[in-house]
A and B are shown apart, each in its own frame.
Chain A
Amino acid sequence: MKDFSYLRAASAEEASRAAQQAGAMLLAGGTTLLDLAKCGVTEPDTVVDITRLAGLDTINVGEGGLTIGALATMSAVADHPEVKTQFPAIAQSLSLAASAQLRNMATIGGNLLQRTRCAYFRDPQAFPACNKRAPGSGCSALGGVTRNHAVLGTSEKCIATYPGDLAVALVAFDAVVDLGTRQVPVDDFFLPYGEAPERETLLQPGEIIRGITVPASVAARQSVYLKVRDRQSYEFAAASAAVGLELEADGRTVSDIHVALGGVATKPWRALAVEQALIGKALDADLVRSASRLSMEGAVSHGDNAYKIELAPRVVARAILQLAPSLGDLA
């Protein structure tokens, strides 16, 4: 790890000013930044520690919804009693992520900005070609081992999966990122790869994520995060789904549904086609399964990751059916 200078910011303004300098990077939990610094992927000249900034670690559940400060830890949000009951998919997306130690360190702001686990991206020495790290250098994953790479939202420049869990639940429930001077829907905050895979979010140099708000809804209260992975714990998603469901009094007809996918796309992926196919319909298992397949519209396989195109819709369907107990053993 290249050496850097260390600055402990006393105010958000100081942090923002310092972070605008070339080579400066904000440091929160450090679980992405120091990991990638050790890989030689990020080489900051200055790290600006924002963990001592006051008032940015609050978690509030009120009438309007959920507000989380950027410095709240993953564990604090995952274990928050009202988040667990009012926004279960959000609590679960965090408690099923990383490990207890990492969740105690990692912050919500840093979590959104975690980088892809693409093995080629993480190993600059062995694989100099990576458009995300070095724009224009090519992509080592194309033609390589692509088991964990994305099937949705890819471009010919980059097929790296966005690995985070929380952001999937956030896009499902229309969360908004608070950047201090502007508010951006999480779905817009993450950019499609297209021509510039090195640019992953709307964040500008010096901009600091202050927090996140999630509107309250019946669907958010009746929600689940289902994560399928190669081992049962401490692993990124092979495919995951955040789903929220509100049914009419008959217990079958969908009045509101939210669906997003993780582990399969280059950004947290809202599946509007699935939602539209189910809204107003009386659920049955076959309908749920066929609608869930719409989540893979436009999916492209790169060989090793073809299984995701089969797996992801099943994860979506299972999550929806879990939320509709009246369908009984149809699930």
Chain B
Amino acid sequence: MTRTIHLTLDINGQRHELDVEPRVTLLDALREHLGLTGTKKGCDQGQCGACTCHVDGKRVLSCLTLAAQAEGRQVTTIEGLAGPNGELHPVQSAFIEHDAFQCGYCTPGQIMSAVACIREGHAGSDEEIREYMSGNLCRCGAYNSIVTAVREAAEMA
């Protein structure tokens, strides 16, 4: 027997209504129910950071957040980062500029984490960037370019 609950979620400034089982995570709600597949599923257990998005402006892991917990909060995903006319967010541009990815799978999570890292004021030095970006793993090992991109975006912010 499947019991569903009705949720209203605010994602990238848009209202979404959905009926899901209570156990559905924000990550699965985004990807499987709302077709927002920019947010990636790596480990699904809080260990890799691929699923990072923002809830009320703070970076969180959507794989360990229930969709129900996000009700009444503002959710921002990688799809919501660019400007109204599609102009890239400075962190997105910096990632392209500095080749801060290879396969790209970790990239949406890296970028969402980096935007928050800069906003928090934790991007003051390469060392600080490495520490505060450590929750985002990159199997391709693009770390050096990621740090460069975050540093440059932070300097421009």
The finding on whether chains A and B are genuine partners in a shared complex, rather than unrelated, reads yes
- Tell whether B116 is near chain A: CB-to-CB under 8 Å: yes
Name B's interface SS. mixed
Q: Quick one: closest B residue to A33, CB to CB?
A: B64
Interface size class of B (residues with CB under 8 A): 20 to 34
**Contact A99–B49 (Cβ < 8 Å):** yes
Contacts of A27 in B (CB 8 A): 66, 69
| A30 near B59: Cβ-Cβ < 8 Å | no
Closest CB in chain A relative to B65 CB, distance in Å: 6
A38 to chain B: which residues have CB within 8 Å? 44-45
A interface footprint on B130-150 (CB within 8 Å = 1, 0 otherwise): 111111100000000000000
Residues of A within 8 A of B76 (CB): none
A331 within 8 A of B: no
Total contacts A to B, CB within 8 angstroms? 84
Q: Is the interface of A mostly helix, strand, loop or mixed?
A: mixed
**A residues near B131, Cβ cutoff 8 Å:** 233
User: Interface size (A, Cβ < 8 Å)?
Assistant: 30
A233-B130, A234-B134 known; A101 vs B59 contact (CB < 8 Å): yes
Cβ–Cβ < 8 Å partners of A272 in chain B = none
CB of B61 within 8 Å of the partner chain: yes
Q: A100-B117, A102-B135 are in contact. Are A34 and B64 (CB under 8 A)?
A: yes
Chain A residues within 8 Å of B117, by CB: 100
B119 to chain A, nearest CB (A): 11
Which of B18-26, B32-40, B84-92 contacts its partner? B18-26
Nearest B residue to A234 via CB reads B134
Chain A, 90-114, CB within 8 A of any chain B CB: 98-102, 104-105
Q: Which residues of A contact B (CB under 8 A)?
A: 1-6, 8, 27, 29-31, 34-35, 37-39, 47, 49, 51, 75, 98-102, 104-105, 232-234
Residues of B within 8 A of A (CB): 2-3, 5, 21-23, 25, 44-46, 49, 52, 58-61, 64-66, 68-69, 113, 116-117, 120, 122, 130-136
Given A37-B23, A99-B136, A100-B134, 6 new contacts (CB under 8 A): A27-B69, A35-B46, A49-B66, A75-B58, A99-B49, A101-B61
12 residue pairs from A and B, CB less than 8 Å apart: A27-B66, A31-B46, A31-B64, A39-B45, A49-B68, A100-B116, A100-B117, A101-B49, A101-B60, A101-B61, A104-B60, A105-B61
